[in-house]
Amino acid sequence: MKEIVIGFLGCGNVGGGVWELLKNFAPEIAHRDQVTIRVKKVLVRDVNKARTCSVPKELLTTVPEDVLCDPEISMVVEFMGGEQPATEYMLTALKNRKTVVTANKVAVALNWHRLQEAAQKSKVGLYYEASVCGAIPIINVLMSSLQSNRIDKLMGIINGTTNYILSRMYDSGEDYKIVLQDAQKLGLAEPNPASDVEGMDAAYKLSIMASLAFHARVLYRNVFRQGITGITQMDITCGKEMGYVLKLLAIAKRQGNTIEVRVHPTFLPQDHPLSRVHGSFNAVYLHGHACQDMMLQGRGAGDMPTASAVVGDILHAATVAVHSHPTFANRAEPDASLTFTDNWSTRFFVRVSAKDTPGTLQKIAGWMAQENVSIATMLQKDAVEEGRVPLVFITHEASEKAMQAALSHMEKDVCTVESVIRVEA
């Protein structure tokens, strides 16, 4: 029986889950893989903090070198979170010839090239399945099973907190602030939920997924990002009446050397497979030239679902003969041949408040027509304010810049633009 000695960096939600899974699943791991995993040291901030997991106190340390420089430890598993000091600790571990497994999307998205270079130099592994979509094995699918494909489109619900909030708003008609408070009470949202609701969490994950899908480095700063904080119940209700469901979508498309990567609230038709992904579930929908359409769905967060991905990586790393790495040029900057466009084509949901006078609709339609934006559907709601009327339009596909130009004319002339939400099919 082979014994692998590992060290933990962190022991919070995810670390605690990994500890319990390794402990409870040990007999099956030993039987199936002929390997035992022994956790020797666990780095935390405070050794006296009460913990829900059963890790013995004598394994805890606040000295990083106890994990990073112990020659008996051959694998370091990181779930501290944040860019630093996690990245520097992982780099030290890799330099010391220890394979690294991490759940940290921020560190991978921002410093992937440095981590990969260090791993390759030391001929050790770097694994990060848990960094994107928790239990869903999207990294492995992109890195191995779908290598036979040219992937041109990927759309995902990759943040559980925002999907929980938007699903509740859609189902119950409640307002954003009330549902967010509940998500925090349930432990879904972070105490400071900005990374979830402002779309940063999804943008980090998208930069990793899009890089693997397109075999080209896509940086976090290449991703256009808009969160859900401006979404109102009125938007969701109008979209619902028109046959759409609102999701925070992470979208990546590639046409030749042009790439678009964006995270923003998006209306999807009610019969789209992603529209049926509710609550804190995650899902990734993609299209490849050979596999065609595919969707993977599962739990994107939580101690055990995330531990499932981490322990999968640990077992793979413990038993594989040669560690593999992505084959694209993983550098600090994307390849110069690539263009990241901010002028994508999509459909738009536009909600305005307009003067309730003859000719208003004609003027709005005129400004859209002038910028080559064609209206597909329109809804007029009852007036909520004396003399003004809410109007909702869904356009045919138009370029982002054309839509913004039309909105600017409309605002100067005839209405107040209350919301603009992109629509995908």
Distance CA 223, CA 206 (A): 8
103 binds, among ligand HSE, ligand NAP, none (CB under 5 to 8 A by kind): ligand NAP
- Nearest approach, Cβ of 2 to ligand NAP (angstroms)? 27
DSSP designation for 125 = -
Distance CA 55, CA 50 (A): 11
- Nearest approach, Cβ of 64 to ligand NAP (angstroms)? 7
Considering the complex, state which of residue 13 and residue 395 has its C-beta at the smaller distance from ligand NAP.
13
Considering the complex, state which of residue 34 and residue 181 has its C-beta at the smaller distance from ligand HSE.
181
- Nearest approach, Cβ of 131 to ligand NAP (angstroms)? 6
Q: Is 205 a catalytic residue?
A: yes
For the chain, give the longest Cα–Cα distance.
83
Considering the complex, state which of residue 78 and residue 235 has its C-beta at the smaller distance from ligand NAP.
78
Annotate 70-103 with DSSP letters as a single string.
Answer: -TT--EEEE---SSTTHHHHHHHHHHTT-EEEE-
Contact 140, 326 (CB under 8 A): no
45 binds, among ligand NAP, ligand HSE, none (CB under 5 to 8 A by kind): ligand NAP
30 by Cβ neighbours in 10 Å (0-12 / 13-18 / 19+) ranks as middle
If one counts every other C-beta atom within 10 angstroms of the C-beta of residue 165, the result is 28
159 binds, among ligand HSE, ligand NAP, none (CB under 5 to 8 A by kind): ligand HSE
Considering the complex, state which of residue 205 and residue 254 has its C-beta at the smaller distance from ligand NAP.
205
- Nearest approach, Cβ of 167 to ligand NAP (angstroms)? 18
Distance CA 377, CA 216 (A): 38
The site for ligand HSE (CB under 6 A) is made up of 159-161, 196, 201, 300-301
3-state secondary structure of 358: coil
Cα 129–chain centre separation: 13
Chain residue whose CB lies nearest ligand NAP: 12
Considering the complex, state which of residue 125 and residue 160 has its C-beta at the smaller distance from ligand HSE.
160
289 by Cβ neighbours in 10 Å (0-12 / 13-18 / 19+) ranks as exposed
- Nearest approach, Cβ of 121 to ligand HSE (angstroms)? 29
Sequence-ordered alpha helix ranges (H) in 123-244:
138-140, 160-172, 176-185, 194-197, 200-214, 233-241
The site for ligand NAP (CB under 6 A) is made up of 10-15, 43-46, 49, 79-81, 85, 103-105, 130, 134, 301-302, 306
Choosing from 41, 98, 205, 247, which is the catalytic residue? 205
The residue to which tokens 């536009």 are assigned: 350
Considering the complex, state which of residue 194 and residue 383 has its C-beta at the smaller distance from ligand HSE.
194
412 by Cβ neighbours in 10 Å (0-12 / 13-18 / 19+) ranks as exposed
- Nearest approach, Cβ of 130 to ligand HSE (angstroms)? 9
* Residue 362 neighbours by CB under 8 Å, 6+ apart: none
Catalytic residue numbers, as ranges: 205
